[in-house]
Amino acid sequence: MSQSSRKKLLLMGRSGSGKSSMRSIIFSNYSAFDTRRLGATIDVEHSHLRFLGNMTLNLWDCGGQDVFMENYFTAQKDHIFKMVQVLIHVFDVESKLINKDIEIFVKALTNLQKFSPDAKIFVLLHKMDLVQLDKRDELFHIMMDKLQKISNPFHFKLVGFPTSIWDESLYKAWSQIVCSLIPNMNLFNSNLLKFNEVLDAEEIILFEKTTFLVISSTASIQRQSQAQGSHLSNGSLDALDPKRFEKISNIIKTYKQSLGKLRSNFQNLVIRGSNGLHFYVDFLTDNLFIMIVLRDRGTDKSHRHALEDLLILENVKAARKWFEKIEAGK
């Protein structure tokens, strides 16, 4: 098992497209503002990230200047493109040399097909914040159609995301990328549903602890099963903000950072909301955070007290051992 839990991710794209900024925000707690300080990446920067305890992500941040690029596709190609699980190719939407960007993308695909034909390909159209709001969708679709056409001969299925470091889109993209690497995803999902039956919550979301990427949530599981044709009751969730997961990631990450100023760590958070909803954010395992959203079903508001909160937190404690088992891969 230990072999398969090392995942190699290639992060590629032309220089200045924002690869290292992404890496710093998602994995090193930089704020978007801090990324201005990052210089050019020289050759390949490796980072090893423990994710969900037993999974190691080897992120190869490949510097995108032409000198290095040439080198990757010639002298180092077997070293770079061997055993790749995921290629994340970043395109700068402001780039003037689209053809050159695509040329490099094609070269990368050619090498991947040769050395790791099973790799998953993710395309990020980055710096979307520089495009007018009403033009973003159109631009994204044109670009994705074009790239999909190009990659068809290589038999790769592309998954694309519009991203920007100034909003939640970056978290959304990386959540999906990382989730595609988790082997026992189904176990997480089924246990989450069981836990939800116990609590009868509006929604439960699981986050990875260090990056705060969304691993799984009851809403997304329901959506998947609906797509497969089964009918689960899905009440008010459709009316909610579809970007809420990324926003929550962002909010809580900011909070964790701000607590650093008090030289203190986050343990849990309980909010009694303004419209009868209660929020609980707590540790689930050493690598997971859980967020539970409950609706207040009591008609009599005077009957709310701290006991209820303690009950929920006790439930979370009881759920811990199950999720710890899943993480350990048993």
Partner 1 sequence: MEQQQQLQTAPDSSNATILLMGLRRGGKSSICKVVFHNMQPLDTLYLESTSKPTSEQFLSLIDLSVMELPGQLNYFEPSYDSERLFSSVGALVYVIDSQDEYLNALTNLSTIIEYAHRVNPKIHIEVLIHKIDGLSEDYRIDAQRDIMQRTGDELLDLGLEGVQVSFYLTSIFDHSIYEAFSRIVQKLVPELPSLENMLDNLVAHSSIDKVFLFDVNSKIYVATDSSPVDIQTYEVCAEFIDITIDLDDLYVENDAKSDQQVVKDEIKSISYLSNGLVLYKQMIRGLALVALIRNDEDNGPGQSESNMDELLTIIDYNVGRFKKSLMKMWESSKFRPASNTGGEV
The angle that helices 66-73 and 98-115 make with each other, rounded to 10 degrees, is 30
Does the footprint of partner 1 cover residue 99 (CB under 8 A)?
no
- Asked if 261 is part of the footprint of partner 1 (rule: CB under 8 A), the reply reads yes
Least Å distance between CB 199 and partner 1? 16
DSSP 2-18: TTTTEEEEEEEESTTSS
Q: Is 199 near partner 1 (CB under 8 A)?
A: no
- In terms of phi and psi (left: phi > 0; alpha: psi -120 to 50; beta: otherwise), the region of 162 is beta
Beta pairing class for 55-62 and 6-13: parallel
Is residue 1 involved in binding partner 1 (CB under 8 A)? no
Which phi and psi angles does 131 have, rounded to 5°? -105, 145
306 contacts partner 1 (rule: CB under 8 A) = yes
Q: Are 56 and 46 in contact (CB under 8 A)?
A: no
Side-chain half-sphere CA neighbours of 81 within 13 A:
22
Would you give the end-to-end CA distance of the chain in angstroms?
A: 11
The reply on whether position 241 binds partner 1 by CB under 8 A is: yes
Give the separation between CA 95 and CA 252, rounded to whole angstroms. 33
CA distance 272 to 274: 7
Per rule CB under 8 A, is residue 202 in the interface with partner 1? yes
CB nearer partner 1, residue 118 or residue 241: 241
Q: Which of 326, 264, 276 is nearest to 301 (CA)?
A: 276
Give, as ranges, the residues between 19 and 48 that touch partner 1 (CB under 8 A). 33
Residue selected from 77, 107, 247, 320 as contacting partner 1 according to rule CB under 8 A: 247
The binder of partner 1 chosen from 97, 103, 186, 276 (CB under 8 A) = 276
Task: State the minimum distance, in angstroms, from the CB of residue 214 to partner 1.
Answer: 13
Q: Which is nearer to partner 1, 152 or 268 (CB)?
A: 268
CB nearer to partner 1: pick between 55 and 281: 281
Question: Is residue 227 a contact residue for partner 1 (CB under 8 A)?
Answer: no
234 binds partner 1 (CB under 8 A): no
Of 110-118, 145-153, 215-223, 236-244, the segment contacting partner 1 by CB under 8 A is: 236-244
One residue of 113, 266, 320, 322 binding partner 1 per CB under 8 A:
266
Given a contact cutoff of 8 angstroms between Cβ atoms, the answer to whether 154 and 105 are in contact is no
Instruction: Say if CB 126 and CB 164 are below 8 A apart.
Output: yes
- Cα separation of 128 and 141, whole Å? 13
For residue 311, state whether it binds partner 1 (rule: CB under 8 A). Answer: no
Is position 124 an interface residue for partner 1 (rule: CB under 8 A)?
no
Q: Is 293 in the site for partner 1 (CB under 8 A)?
A: yes
Closest CA to 88 of 17, 185, 186, 138: 17
Among 44, 110, 251, 308, binds partner 1 (CB under 8 A): 251
> Which positions touch partner 1 (CB under 8 A)?
33, 202, 236, 239-241, 244, 247-248, 251-252, 254-255, 258-259, 261-277, 279, 293, 301, 306, 310
